[in-house]
Amino acid sequence: MDKIYLNELEFYGFHGVLPEETKLGQRFRVSMTLYLDLKEAGETDNLELTVSYADVYQMVKEIVEGKPYKLIEAVAEKLASSILEAFPTITMISVKVIKPDPPIQGHYQSVAVEILRSRNDD
């Protein structure tokens, strides 16, 4: 299966359980892999036969910077379901939502969730 990668898209959102997260907001990064057949697009050089990265980026931006969710798991699910619905050529999607600065004491690079969803999921 062919893949399109969107790596480390960065946004500012208001997702979280703690009051300061929903009031002050924080950075979020999103990485995703789109699984689809790119053979015909590659052979014909036709954008209509693939997925526009710009369109996917705009959808991710609207979701991450839009309605607040308590859990990054919910953000990931919303991203996956919305992108699968909007782009019928995508057969499967991997979505990783990264929270680089959660309000947790300690030393770490980030926390994240990653999900894999396909059109066949119930």
Catalytic residues: 99
Residue identified by tokens 């947790």 is: 104
Q: Which two tokens stand for residue 26?
A: 């924080």
Kindly list the strands in the beta sheet with 111-118, ordered across the sheet, starting from the edge strand earlier in the chain: 2-13, 26-36, 92-99, 111-118
Report the candidate in 72, 48, 39 with the shortest Cα–Cα distance to residue 64.
Answer: 72
* CA–CA distance, 3 with 66 (Å, rounded to integer): 27
